[in-house]
Amino acid sequence: MVFSADSKVLVQGITNSLGRVYTPLMLTYGTSILAGVDPGAGGDTVAGVPVFDLVSQALDAVGDVDVSIIVTAPYAALDAALEAIAAGIRQIVMVTDSVPPLDMVRLLRKANATDTLVIGPNSPGVIVPGQVLLGTHPAEFYAPGNVGLISRSGSLTYEVALQLTKAGIGQSIAVGIGGDRIVGSSFQQWLQILDEDDRTDAIVLVGEIGGDSEEVAARYIAEAIDKPVIAYLAGRTAPKGQQMGHAGAIIASQFGDGGKELGTVESKLAAFEAAGVPVGDRPSAIPHLVRQVLQSQNCQKKSTN
């Protein structure tokens, strides 16, 4: 797994409102936050965490850091991320939303060149239940277990996690890949990570209307993923052509030769069906589908032993 209880964490933008609210919550969960960075706020503390003006100063004081959580203003996010990469940090969680698209293009070029994992922007971050909280997930909704959860949404991630927890199904990790137009790590990247993760037996993918992320993920599942995947799709009842918050515009491109508009509910459902991925019609349906695939998986294992 990429993140664990041993992950050492830095918070960039720690003295702003998001940083001051969520740093104590992450610390309470057990996250090892060693330092914060905010230019001009060096010498301050937030929930007992020392604040420095520069990332290099923070690392000189506390040693190596594995993860940077960025909660800066949108137009400061690029500089913050590039500063973290320059300091050798290779895992970046961008909670900040509305980062300028061209800034993200520049950041992702640098991230690709340095093998840096970027999550977000506009992401609730990552939680490994019982181990580490990196972002804004409401920790009380989660429980340790063997189901990986990856999502484009924030609140729907929490809702699906809560439904699983109430049903007695814990989670190995929950990742919000981000809701901005251009994001770092993709569904495909996390599907591969979870497919190779020994602690994850099944994967839940939470998608939305707009864009083609779900269609691309469905094709990748069919071609490369061995573990069972269950999906939930938000926006089924939205009027045709309706903007849905950060899900963005429903674009009018054609999906293959099927005549279905890319980004629509119909296109995404057809893609999941073609990939053999069961889709829940509501969050409360997800636990039943997860139980079905896990039971089927256990039966297959017994038959081969």
CA distance 205 to 279: 9
Cβ neighbourhood burial of 89 (10 Å; 0-12, 13-18, 19+) = buried
CA distance 16 to 221: 40
**Comparing C-alpha atoms, which of 159, 157, 141 is closest to residue 205?**
157
The sign of the torsion formed by the CA atoms of 195, 148, 180, 115 equals negative
**Comparing C-alpha atoms, which of 133, 144, 194 is closest to residue 168?**
144
Which of the residues are catalytic?
Answer: 246
Structural contact between residues 186 and 177, judged by C-beta atoms closer than 8 angstroms: yes
CA distance 131 to 7: 9
Structural contact between residues 175 and 109, judged by C-beta atoms closer than 8 angstroms: no
Give me the residue label for tokens 């809701």: 179
Structural contact between residues 290 and 230, judged by C-beta atoms closer than 8 angstroms: yes
**Comparing C-alpha atoms, which of 90, 86, 74 is closest to residue 16?**
74
